Amino acid sequence: AALGDRWLASRYALAEAERSYKRLQNESPKTVEVLAKILGVNITCLAEPYREPIAIVNNVTIYRQYEFRIHFLDYVRVAQRLLGDPTWRPANLPVVQGYVYLAKKQVARLLKEAITIYIERSITGFHIELKTLPPLVKDYIETIKDLLSKHRKPKMVKTSDKKYFVKLPEGMVLIEAFPPCMKDVYDALLRGENLSHHQRFAIATFMLNIGATVDQVVDLFKNVPDFNEKTTRYQVEHLAGLRGSQKKYLTYSCEKMRTLGLCHGDCGVKNPIVAYYRNASKIVKQSRKQEASP
């Protein structure tokens, strides 16, 4: 908390949540229910498991069992960062009378999200005045800051300067031209926040389509708490059309961004990429005017 470093807070929160996730899978259903309520997640352990028929084999019905249920609104609130995975979407889970039914392992994974959020908020919401700390603690803080600065490389995406607007070399991106939706996600990424699947897809595809290289996008994602370079590089290369079907993905449309709650204004276009190039064109024209003026 004294460091005021959101990336470190998120990294620590994720590590603790991962440790808790492994332990939760071995706890009794009642214990899981109690822990969930402590975290503010109203999950109920069922007296009798909910049985969902999934197949009929040799005239015998095969059921999948769910030991817990959670109200739909609570589920969406806690599972927000998981909904990019189709298996977590309510449409692919049993939903009965406003309740989503879950198996124990699913509940443990859901609580991992709740624990991550709880710890992140606890750390970032706790303010400490450095001058009130003992000298030894201050020394530790400075040492940690030095280690963090060496561990995290500076962002590779360049911004334009007053003297050079017109010709953009490969890999140069004008941050000033980002539409508000992408600027918000980009800033959250630099702060080290644990982005949702949709936020990650949006910013990665956006940057790949405006000229950023795979290396630059991967380097930016080093800020996220759960960064894994091998996995991230594979996914970014896939989005860039270098793997699999060789299809390069476009970023979400403005309509899709609004549906996801990621659009915060009306730029008058149908896609953030169009907004970027429109803004970049204005920057170039303004630069030419400045260069032409005596």
pLDDT digits (tens, 9 = 90+) for 106-123: 999 999 989 988 888 888
Within-domain flag for 222: yes
Q: Within a 10 A sphere around the Cβ of 166, how many other Cβ atoms?
A: 11
Q: Between the CA of residue 16 and those of 77, 111, 122, 187, 204, what are the distances in Å?
A: 21, 12, 13, 25, 27
Residues of the chain with pLDDT under 70: 1-2, 150-172, 287-294
Angle at 61 between CA 55 and CA 66, to 5 degrees: 80
Question: Containing domain of residue 77, as a range?
Answer: 6-124
pTM exceeding the 0.75 threshold for the entire prediction: no
Asked whether residue 182 falls in the same domain as residue 286, the answer is yes
Asked whether residue 22 falls in the same domain as residue 117, the answer is yes
Of 90, 124, 158, the one marking the end of a domain is 124
pLDDT digits (tens, 9 = 90+) for 71-109: 999 999 898 878 877 788 899 999 999 999 999 999 999
Asked whether residue 106 falls in the same domain as residue 182, the answer is no
Helical H segments across the chain, by residue range: 6-24, 29-38, 72-78, 104-124, 135-151, 180-190, 197-209, 214-220, 229-239, 254-259, 272-292
Asked whether residue 113 falls in the same domain as residue 186, the answer is no
Within-domain flag for 45: yes
